[in-house]
A and B are shown apart, each in its own frame.
Chain A
């Protein structure tokens, strides 16, 4: 048997749970407030009554404890000296439980036998005292033996009906009840208001999450205050903003990647169509066309290869924790780039310190150094230079690649690490660039826990500064 969705949502709502919890707490407090003080007051009165009656019974018992035999007259005489006004009933019996003295105005029991358990036990030598509270009065009974030496010659029975103390307790109880009712009502109203306010903010968060999950990344929630829910709201807004940025990057990447892949493909198709449709194409032209097709295919291959590298880095594939000597990798890379430098008439110089070790993937570090140095060569001027410095300071290893090239305009500096971003699109393509080289560098540095920055050199060209965390073993050395 399924519950209706509406009822289920109400019974499962946070507000109801809050309300139910508070209600239970309030009910518990009300019960405690209405019972504990009454119980304590009652016990105090019990103790006081028992003490008082025991004292009075003791006085009577002592007064009646004479060597003479107890009789109605002797008891009457002794009792006439005592103040019995506070007592509802006083009975004095002989050893057979026959009543010799009774203060009851209604149905005096003088001459009868008092077969009460209290008197029976008192005649057996016990002192009996108990008090009962029935909500209207305290009824306290005390029975004490009258001794003549070791012999029990009779018993004294006292009964007190006290409605005064009871009315005092009832008045306290009534006041407590009224106070707790008012406080309880106020607490319930406030509880509903607060729980409503609390759950409204949670409901707003749930609603905002649904809106964002449907694709509206512009949605932001109001975040006032400094409590946990406000903090949650702020984090939600930050998360939404990051989602929005990521989504934008993703869209741009897809668009750029499509474009980058489409361009060489279109060239290949155009060239191949030209070859196919030309009946009288001479061999030289055809060779030129085919060479161009080959170049475009190579560019396509490089682009896809770089995209694959970026994708691998995004998913963390290929990252290892090998101990790498950056001096060695830099020298090897420079060796590989020396033909290119010669081609572009660019001079490469290096200042490499010993002991610049980091933990990471050799392939990725190679790509970092290669891409930065290759860019420095390709976007340089004949006779220019590329200078590479490598040094270590305490916890970090710094790699500086600077060139005397054309430099990067200030407005392009914040974007140069974005994928498919080109400063000079025509020149970049001519140089065989894909717009992904610096993105790969950026991601690779980030994956190694490092940082990269770029600045314009005053005398022209650019300076890239890469800082890696040094290998821990090196730190200890």
Chain B
């Protein structure tokens, strides 16, 4: 009897050590946020879609697993599958930073809010996979929706009051040469303009660990004002020719300001000044002229 117990214990130890070794050898894949529709009884606070975290297998492709998860019936009774019964995801092909999702022809019969919900759930789910920024939806060879990204869908009313709102602030992504974004609550009044509130949130740094600071600590806003659609921002505490920053980092830093500020109505472009003066470049990236929003360097959204 004792022998059996010892053998069992030894086998258990081997199993545990084997698992541990496997875990150590291949890091656990990042979870995928699968977006589904909340059942009508659970649509509280204006929420329509709900993310459901799914940990993919290490063996298959994440894109295929995300597509399969989208088609599955949710376990929770609070959630519903976004795809109607007759609409099926036939394939999902991963590109450089995008995914093309192939649906059957029944998809073409869906319209209105129902179609928007399908598009949103597919896009948001695919963009939650690291490295995916855009989603295209095709039926056969026909491209029905091209280059959808997570910013195309507003999942909640971000305006809290006439002096408080949740605003999308852009930060460089930690692991790639692109911008990600997250919502920050900005308060403003007669003394502090919304532009200043956005810049303070930007210089305060990101909340998410997958994003990083655009500007070093100690950077301060000297002034900010908007005139004729051009927002002029004067920064201090940074050296324009600091060689510790690469031009790529400079580009991300500059567009983190430009893209964040141009989300405000009435701001078309942003002029960045250093210590109150026009500067030809910041860390090797030209900022002499006002800059407009650059969507091409926006990666997937980190948080909605």
Contacts and interface: CB of A to CB of B under 8 A. Distances in A.
Interface stretch (B111-119, B171-179, B285-293): B111-119
28 contacts: A88-B159, A89-B159, A95-B113, A96-B116, A98-B116, A105-B265, A106-B159, A106-B263, A107-B166, A107-B168, A108-B263, A111-B152, A113-B116, A114-B154, A115-B116, A115-B117, A115-B153, A115-B154, A115-B155, A116-B155, A117-B43, A118-B46, A120-B48, A123-B112, A123-B113, A137-B161, A141-B157, A159-B157
Given A104-B265, A106-B263, A88 B161 contact: yes
B49 interface: yes
B160 A113 contact: no
A99 B157 contact: no
A382 interface: no
Interface string A150-178: 00100001010101000000000000000
Interface string A118-148: 1111011000000000000100010000000
A97 interface: yes
For the complex of A and B, list the 5 residue pairs with the smallest distance between their C-beta atoms, beginning with the closest.
A117-B43, A161-B161, A106-B165, A123-B113, A117-B48
Nearest to B38: A117
Interface of B: 38, 40, 43-44, 46-49, 111-113, 115-117, 119-120, 151-162, 165-168, 186, 194, 263-266
Contacts of A159: 157, 159
B161 A97 contact: no
B46 A161 contact: no
A178 to B, nearest CB: 27
Contact of A112 (B153, B157, B194, B264): B153
Given A104-B159, A105-B265, A96 B153 contact: no
A2 to B, nearest CB: 54
A469 interface: no
Contact of A163 (B112, B117, B155, B161): B161
Given A107-B165, A107-B168, A117 B266 contact: no
A109 interface: yes
B115 A105 contact: no
Contacts of A113: 116, 119-120, 152-154
- Most chain B CB neighbours (cut-off 10 Å) among A98, A117, A124: A117
Contact of B264 (A98, A106, A121): A106
A97 B112 CA distance: 7
A109 to B, nearest CB: 5
B112 A116 contact: no
A12 B99 CA distance: 78
Contacts of A106: 158-159, 165, 167, 186, 194, 263-265
Contacts of B38: 117
Nearest to B123: A113
Nearest to A102: B265
Nearest to B120: A115
Nearest to A108: B265
Nearest to A153: B112
A69 B83 CA distance: 27
Interface string A74-87: 00000000000000
- Most chain B CB neighbours (cut-off 10 Å) among A107, A112, A163: A107
Given A97-B113, A107-B158, A107-B168, A116 B48 contact: yes
Given A105-B265, A161-B162, A112 B115 contact: no
A99 B49 CA distance: 17
B161 A117 contact: no
Contacts of A108: 263-265
A112 B168 CA distance: 14
A105 B117 contact: no
A72 to B, nearest CB: 14
Nearest to A143: B46
A123 B119 CA distance: 17
Nearest to B166: A107
A97 B119 CA distance: 12
- Most chain B CB neighbours (cut-off 10 Å) among A95, A96, A137: A96
A104 B156 CA distance: 13
A215 B93 CA distance: 109
Contacts of B111: 95-96
Nearest to B158: A107
- Most chain A CB neighbours (cut-off 10 Å) among B116, B117, B156: B116
B157 A89 contact: yes
A373 B199 CA distance: 126
A115 B165 contact: no
- Most chain A CB neighbours (cut-off 10 Å) among B47, B113, B161, B194: B113
Nearest to B47: A117
Given A105-B266, A106-B264, A116 B167 contact: no
B46 A116 contact: yes
Contacts of A89: 157, 159
A89 B46 CA distance: 14
Contacts of B113: 95-97, 119-120, 123-124
Interface string A273-316: 00000000000000000000000000000000000000000000
A105 B163 CA distance: 10
B265 A99 contact: no
Contacts of B115: 96
Given A105-B194, A163-B161, A99 B154 contact: yes
B258 to A, nearest CB: 15
A435 B49 CA distance: 111
Given A96-B112, A106-B186, A117-B44, 20 more contacts: A95-B112, A96-B111, A99-B154, A104-B158, A105-B265, A106-B159, A107-B165, A108-B263, A112-B152, A113-B116, A115-B116, A115-B120, A115-B154, A116-B48, A117-B43, A118-B46, A121-B40, A123-B112, A123-B113, A159-B159
Contacts of B159: 88-89, 104, 106-107, 159, 161
A123 to B, nearest CB: 4
B46 A141 contact: yes
Nearest to B266: A105
Contacts of A114: 154
Contacts of A120: 43, 48, 113, 117
Contacts of B186: 106
Nearest to A117: B43
B46 A107 contact: no
A111 B112 CA distance: 15
A88 B159 CA distance: 8
Contacts of B48: 115-117, 120
A163 B162 CA distance: 10
A115 B157 contact: no
Contacts of A161: 159-162
